[in-house]
Structure 1
Amino acid sequence: MAVNYDGNAEEASFSAGIEISEVDLSASGTVFPNDTQGFSMGLGHDNSLLECTNTEVTLPFDADFAEGQIYSGGWTLGVVYSFSGGQTLAFDGAIEVVVADYSSVAGALSGATGPTTTDLTWDNTLGSPPVEGVVVVNGGSLTPTFDDGTITLQAVFDTPFMRGNCNGNSGVDISDGIWMLQELYLGGPSGTCAAACDANGDGTYSLTDAMHVIYWRLLDGPAPTAPFPECDAVVGADCDAASYCP
């Protein structure tokens, strides 16, 4: 799993969905799919790099019991669908059962410019007493096959810019609105920071952005959206030059 994060902020966050599926072995005479009654699991991570901030059960129904614990190096979860046995779930296809949210430990990505790779590994030693990874069928515990996950955190460095400063001069004024109109409709010069020209921050560069700047400067309209009036970077913004900060 690849996760891009703002290299300027040096902080990453992501969510990992956990799925359960059953392999079809019915050709060998075994029952498929099995009606499961619950499960438990523990997933570990490198606590020098990551911390788990939340886990959320995502079953297609509300279980009678679903409790988890978060530790510095991982998390555990135990689920019983129904105390009376009236609710079961067959995993004849992959079904997401829990989503875990992670964030980087403060300072762990400081100075990182390339990819940082780490693993999420199934762990039967977490908790006290330890929580073992099992799936319950007919009141008995079955040990599933676990697949560990690899997370690659990639720093993305974006160019700071000021919203509305389309011509890249010393600030935002009426000349930016005129620049936009000339570029869009009169074959005028093109800038290299479409995000700066997107004055209203709606994700597109169009006539409405020119009008936004003109109304702001001349008719007391709303100011350009952030980043404004200070320069800042926006992850994924289309801005190729540093000259858009005065």
Structure 2
Amino acid sequence: MTSDSSPSETTSAASSQGSSSLPKHVAIIMDGNGRWAQNRGLPRIEGHRRGVDTVRSTTELAAQLQLEALTLYCFSSENWKRPQIELDFLMQLLRQYLIEERATLMDNNLRLRFIGRVDRLDAGVLEEVERTQALCRDNTGTELVLAVDYGGRDELARAARALATEVLAGELSAESIDEQAIADRLDTDGLAEVDLMIRTGGDMRISNFLLWQLSYAELWFTSKCWPEFDESDFRQALADFGDRTRRFGGLEE
């Protein structure tokens, strides 16, 4: 579904929404930073910089609404193909975010988790990842999940290798491998399944994001680029989710 509702429609829909209709786990593809900047005659990196403000406001609202988890697609495994100057900026921006947003994370009682090949990050970035996670370890609120150097196919391949290794070691029988066995070996082990996936920027695809976890997620698209996505847009997506009937392959009662 796509949406670019008016402010009055957004306010009306969001205000009538009860907590029981909220998704437990929301995942967002934060697309359009570069296009937003280029459309304004700015360098692409300025779009990424502005996007951090949207991350902050979206995260704060998720915490306020007491969502169980919010997963943000920060950097895909395919993004390494971008120009080196942009890659260097993105890594520095991630490091800066982890340092400067610690107060926001703590003030909102947010837990912090990373999925993807975080082990391949620069040592300086990885150091801040570990420091910030340690700081948030005892928080009990919404779990903020940052997908960094993440690809859904890579995640599934790593899970398959883990299962194969256990079978070869005699720790697991091939016959015992079921959906839960696979889910237990994914980066998202222990998280609620994704209920709602939001994508900004106008494209209508999932781009190798959470391929397993999006199986029954509701999809919501907007033409707004990520730096333009605001609280009213997030509330509209949540309100639209609350209006949908989820049957999971069954029939509506």
Of Structure 1 and Structure 2, which has the larger fraction of its residues in helix?
2
Does TM, normalized by the shorter one, top 0.5? no
Larger radius of gyration: 1
Higher relative contact order (CA 8 A, sep 6+): 2
